[in-house]
């Protein structure tokens, strides 16, 4: 499974692609997915606008203005940012969580997924992985390195900020 969630390396702001080798299992999966409703285009558009807003305030000056506004309004800046980037609210009831997952992608999301797959920059990912390995080695805390036994370590970094 390759996830294209908001904080993923090559985000499409949602969706995933699964590779299924067993044709029988794939057929059952497709049949199940065909019963799901389509994702609302408006919901995807809302997510795009939220992330564009977050990008707009990702520079020091606008971010400082946003932080100041949150302070004046007695609003939690961390909760605001997490609400924009988090795909699902914390402590959401299981039934609600699964209802959110069970939909077919909208046409705009499919177009974005297709674009991400066509334009993925493997060299950029390799540079980031190499940089992450050098940084982890320099920390000298190898035993605390999450994922150190993974075959392919890419060292997560939000694509929103790169």
Number of domains in the chain: 2
Give the separation between CA 75 and CA 100, rounded to whole angstroms.
27
Do 92 and 31 share a structural domain?
A: yes
What pLDDT was estimated at residue 87? 66
Residue 16 has phi, psi (to 5 degrees) of -160, 160
What pLDDT was estimated at residue 84? 75
Looking at 57-158, list the stretches that DSSP marks H as alpha helix, in order from N- to C-terminal side: 60-72, 77-85, 94-101, 107-119, 122-139
The upper half-sphere exposure of residue 121, i.e. CA atoms within 13 Å in the direction of its Cβ, equals 11
129 CB burial (10 A radius; 0-12, 13-18, 19+): middle
Do 137 and 89 share a structural domain?
A: no
Do 36 and 15 share a structural domain?
A: yes
What pLDDT was estimated at residue 158? 45
Do 136 and 113 share a structural domain?
A: no
Tell me which residue range forms the domain holding 101: 2-120
Do 140 and 113 share a structural domain?
A: no
What pLDDT was estimated at residue 111? 94
Do 80 and 53 share a structural domain?
A: yes
| Average pLDDT along the chain, 162 residues, taken 10 residues at a time | 82 89 96 94 89 85 92 91 74 86 92 92 86 79 70 60 42
């Amino acid at each position: 499974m390759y996830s294209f969630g908001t904080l993923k390396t090559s985000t499409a702001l949602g969706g995933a692609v699964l590779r299924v080798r067993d044709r029988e299992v794939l057929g059952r999966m497709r049949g199940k997915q065909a019963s799901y409703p389509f994702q609302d285009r408006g919901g995807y558009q809302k997510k795009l606008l939220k992330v564009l807003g977050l990008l707009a305030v990702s520079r020091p000056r606008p971010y400082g203005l946003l932080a100041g506004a949150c302070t004046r309004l007695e609003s939690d800046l961390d909760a605001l940012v997490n609400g924009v980037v988090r795909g699902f609210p914390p402590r959401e009831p299981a039934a609600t969580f699964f209802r959110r997952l069970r939909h077919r992608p909208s046409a705009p999301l499919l177009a974005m997924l297709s674009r991400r797959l066509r334009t993925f920059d493997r060299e950029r990912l390799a540079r980031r992985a190499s940089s992450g390995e050098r940084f982890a080695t320099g920390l000298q805390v190898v035993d605390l390195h999450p994922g150190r036994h993974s075959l392919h370590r890419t060292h997560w970094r939000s694509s929103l900020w790169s």
